[in-house]
Every structure is written in C-alpha cells, then in structure tokens.
Amino acid sequence: MRLAAFAALIFLASCASQEVVDRFDRIKPGMSKEEVVEMLGKPSSGRLLTAARDGVDGERLQWGDSLSSLASSAVFEGDPERAWSVVFDKEGKVIRAVPPAWVDAEADEARILRDRRDRRVGQF
C-alpha cells in the first residue's frame, strides 16, 4: 500500500501543471526569471549552467520533471527531452524555452490525422 501511494505521489509530482502546458508558448527571449516563474509557477528543478560545460553561463529551470528526466539531466548535456525547460543567461533573462520532445511529436501526429481526414472528406 505504501509503495502504491509513493508511486502515485511521484507520478503526480512529475506532471507539469496545466498552467505550464497552457502558458509555455508565452515565454519569450529577454523575459526575466521572475516573470517566467510568476507565469508558470515554481519549477520542479533547476541547474546552474557553465559556458565550458553547457555553452552558456546561466541557469536552466525545468517544470514537469520525473525521476528519469532528473537523472538524464544530471548525466547528459543539453536540454532535457521530457521536461519543459527555460534557459536564462547570467543576468536572469530568457535565452530559450524548450518544450518536451513529445509536444512536437503530438503536434505532428495531429497534423497527419487532420490531413487524412481532409483527404477522405474531399473524396465524397
């Protein structure tokens, strides 16, 4: 029973809130860290970045981390593929905002399905 409760807690903690999903595309280069956190809420993790290791001196904040994405971020360089991430320069200004890889994959799949539907409708 405790294991199931713990697993549920981890799962819920690893999901990005609907606010993050709905508002992420509003993040623009030059926004301050404070503006981003006010818009998206408290990040699930953060990492200091160095020019030598990451190509930029600054910080990356992430939303929607899971244990797996946290481990991957600790081992691999670059933007995480399974979390919503925002990279800030050393002055705390947004350099880039990167959604999880699955967001683009879902958009591509939806586009393919719409195209198929439109072709079928055009046949009648």
CB atoms within 10 A of CB 55: 12
- Phi, psi for 74 (deg, rounded to 5): -70, -30
For the chain, what are the domain ranges? 2-122
Q: What is the pLDDT of residues 57-101, one digit of tens each?
A: 999 999 986 544 444 444 445 556 778 999 999 999 999 999 988
Distance CA 57, CA 52 (A): 8
Q: What is the pLDDT of residues 9-64, one digit of tens each?
A: 333 334 568 888 899 999 999 999 999 999 999 998 899 999 999 899 999 999 98
In this structure, what token pair is assigned to residue 109? Answer: 């799949």
Q: How far is CA 69 from CA 29, 91, 110, 122, in A?
A: 24, 26, 25, 43
Distance CA 58, CA 54 (A): 9
Q: How far is CA 12 from CA 36, 67, 79, 123, in A?
A: 22, 12, 22, 45
